[in-house]
Structure 1
């Protein structure tokens, strides 16, 4: 790994590492919003719970980094299930506002609680090591790639199983799902728990890569950004999530790379949000389900098939 570390620019490796972390975040949110139809504006709370859980276990209690990351995912799974309980009572816009409030409460807790380091955050978070070698640069890149591939594999299996079909039925019409005998209470809490676990894994990986975390890293902006990425790529599509997150995450990095003269790099965050907003407007106008949204694709396919049938029928009458 040391030879590879010397050959590859750490800056570009870090870009790819944090991109993969955002991909995990996007996959978790797409599971909640895209497959189950539960709109969440507080996904950053799950992200922060995973990061702080792993950081506290490894820094405060001296736990092994691997164990702390694993336990952080479990903790996030449980807490996400609890925070998902409001979805049983509210829907659509009301659910979005509720999850927004939960996200703000979580960020306030991160910023003020003594166990989280308050406004100072937590630093000196150790890097995981394998056989006595710290996973830095390329080593950490390999780790996050393995986690991402495992996450994609598990999500493909889930969404194609009975669980995934239940989620999609709830997304289309919850009343119909209940009439079909689907336990909507169980499946709605389950999707929040699993989606939160993905975010928790992303948070744990972020904490041990950045070695320092604070409440500002898990605010409302993160939730909106990830939601924009998922919507752009396509709700209910793994491929769409990978595309949407990659495009919107790498776009600001291209601005930094080429150093455009007409743009002030100090205002890059403002430009980024403006571009995100513009892309969202365009996508909502022309592709409401995103570029790879499966529901939109099926509707187009049915429309094309119906049109073709009507043409053939007209020929026969003539």
Structure 2
């Protein structure tokens, strides 16, 4: 089965799906709940290192270590979400950026993470005695992605999702409606982080070697660009944004273009991301396929008009 498809193309699709998981998690935090995060790569790294450490240094089965990585990232992400209870918007973005940089510094210097040398020889998960590589790993990541999308659709279409969108549009109104904003803001960081943790675990067992360089601010900025371009609060928008910004540079690698020097492809990529972000922020602040919960909030506002002294609603 592993020889069914070209390994190079399989790797492209696998890493595309991993970025989709990252994008979905960030879209929950920023797109649905309105909590701006510039440290999403920290959750990604926590998931990767947790699974790598458990499987390499403690001899855990790869399946168990990946499952544990999701749980650990869920819990740590909830702690990362605590600053959102005190700061908002630009201040929250700077705070999460700082937390992300602290996490990367820990990855690079801590003994348990291998420091600057990282962790290698990370085993691939096996099924019925056969290691999942190439096509087998592609099927595994596909199953995880489908499950992630289904769970996200269920959550965002439920009471939890409506609470997140109300908080995004107006936190004061959400509180006046009786929504426990503390609970829902921490919850969205935890769940969004768990998505990134799953992506990190899949990444670690795919590449078999990780280091702190793989989880820096550039990853956070790239994923945020993908989510904002595609559309805040839209699953389809996440797929579109990730596909466009991830696959476009790969097209330049697959096909030769005289105007593009492959040596400077990463520079061109970041320039392209920057230009697209400026255009999107100017003309489509919610993204190409972004959704707004303003209508929902306006309806709720009419239901919580202040009372006059007689107990009647004020017109």
Match of residue 69 from structure 2: 72
- Residue 17 (1) aligns with residue 9 (2): no
Match of residue 93 from structure 1: 90
**Partners of 1:75 and 1:144 in 2: CA distance:** 20
8 Å contact kept, 2:52–2:119: yes
**Partners of 1:141 and 1:252 in 2: CA distance:** 21
**Partners of 1:163 and 1:14 in 2: CA distance:** 35
8 Å contact kept, 1:122–1:212: yes
Per-residue CA deviation, residues 15-71 of structure 1 (Å, 9 max, x unaligned), is 000000000000000000000000000000000000000000000000000000000
Measured on the aligned residues, the alpha-carbon RMSD in Å equals: 1.3
Structure 2 segments unaligned to the other structure (5+ residues):
297-315
How many residue pairs match? The answer is 296
Structure 1 segments unaligned to the other structure (5+ residues):
300-318
1:190 maps to which of 183, 187, 190:
187
8 Å contact kept, 2:165–2:293: no
Per-residue CA deviation, residues 245-273 of structure 1 (Å, 9 max, x unaligned), is 01100010000011212222111110000
**Partners of 1:131 and 1:210 in 2: CA distance:** 21
**Partners of 2:295 and 2:242 in 1: CA distance:** 23
Match of residue 40 from structure 2: 43
Map 1:171-182 → 2, pairs under 5 A = 171-182=168-179
- Residue 200 (1) aligns with residue 223 (2): no
Match of residue 34 from structure 1: 31
- Residue 248 (1) aligns with residue 245 (2): yes
- Residue 122 (1) aligns with residue 125 (2): no
Q: Shift of the alpha carbon at 1:7? A: 3.4
8 Å contact kept, 2:124–2:208: yes
Map 1:255-266 → 2, pairs under 5 A = 255-266=252-263
Match of residue 308 from structure 1: none
TM normalised by structure 1 equals 0.91
**Structure 2 CA distance for partners of 1:297 and 1:177, relative to 1, 3 Å:** closer
8 Å contact kept, 2:4–2:135: no
8 Å contact kept, 2:169–2:293: no
- Residue 295 (1) aligns with residue 292 (2): yes
Per-residue CA deviation, residues 184-219 of structure 1 (Å, 9 max, x unaligned), is 000000000000000000000000001000000000
* Bigger mean CA deviation after superposition, 283-292 or 229-238: 283-292
* Bigger mean CA deviation after superposition, 13-22 or 280-289: 280-289
**Partners of 1:297 and 1:275 in 2: CA distance:** 31
8 Å contact kept, 1:288–1:296: no
8 Å contact kept, 2:166–2:293: no
- Residue 225 (1) aligns with residue 222 (2): yes
- Residue 152 (1) aligns with residue 153 (2): no
**Partners of 2:84 and 2:177 in 1: CA distance:** 20
Find the residue that maps to 2:178 and give its secondary structure: coil
Find the residue that maps to 2:133 and give its secondary structure: coil
**Partners of 1:77 and 1:249 in 2: CA distance:** 26
8 Å contact kept, 1:289–1:296: no
Match of residue 101 from structure 2: 104
1:235 maps to which of 232, 235, 244:
232
Comparing both structures, which one devotes a greater share of its residues to helix?
1
Find the residue that maps to 2:292 and give its secondary structure: helix
